[in-house]
Each structure stands twice: as structure tokens, then as C-alpha cells.
Structure 1
Amino acid sequence: MEELTRLPVWFWLILFPVLIAQSTWLFIDARKRDSIPWFWGIWGLVHFPMPLVFYFIFVRSGWFGRGRRGRKRS
């Protein structure tokens, strides 16, 4: 617990806006893509930078698609 008290004040002042910006962007982008926006928003609010990494891998790359919606059946 002593490690947290050794971090400078500027670190904490920068961390909060970074987490808010990341969470907001993840939520808005996930809502556009119908990909569980509340999950990405909350996760982005409590961690950095892993939510961004996983979001780009799973959602933006299309690795996990939205199923067969929008595809024509033959």
C-alpha cells in the first residue's frame, strides 16, 4: 500500500481524465457497433490500456462478428 503513496500528484491528475476519455470513447463506439456498450464503458473506466487492446482485437477487427445479421440467405 505504500507504493500508492509514493506516486506523484501529477500522475493521479492525468490518470482520471485518461480513464474518462477512454471509457467515453469505448462506450460511444461500441454503441455504434451494437457491441455491449455498457460493458466496454465500465471496463474502460476502471482499467488502462487493456480495454482498448481487447476492444480493437474483438470488436474493431471483426473477429467476433454480430452473427449472421444482414447476410443474405441462399
Structure 2
Amino acid sequence: MKIIDLYRRGGVVLSLEVFPPKIDYPLETIFQTISELTKLQPGFISVTYGAGGSSRVRTVEIASRIKK
């Protein structure tokens, strides 16, 4: 489903944006947080690249795990 399809349905669409943690911060913590936030039933979750793309590997890892 595309994001535009969510808005075409009408009503409120909740979205979440996740920023990858710094390299020395455990990813499991962010996955636990995302797990709790999904209880809010967001329409979608976006994952942002870090400043300068420095955390792009973590961005892909987080996005891939959210997609599952």
C-alpha cells in the first residue's frame, strides 16, 4: 500500500518517524520502543538517515526489521 492510499481513505493517519541511534547505542532498545509504539497502530513508520548519512547502515537495518 502507498502512503497516498492511507490519506485517500479519509480520517486521521498517524505516522511515526524513527531516527537511528548512534553507533554505540544498542539497536535492541530502539526495537523495543518501536514495538511499544506500534500499539498505536500507525499508518506507517519512516526511518530517517542520520546527519550526513552517517548511520545509513543502521537505517536500512531498522527499516528492514520494521517491514517484517
Compare CA radii of gyration and give the structure with the larger one.
1
Whichever structure has more strand as a proportion of its residues is 2
Structure 2-normalised TM-score?
0.26
Whichever structure has more helix as a proportion of its residues is 1
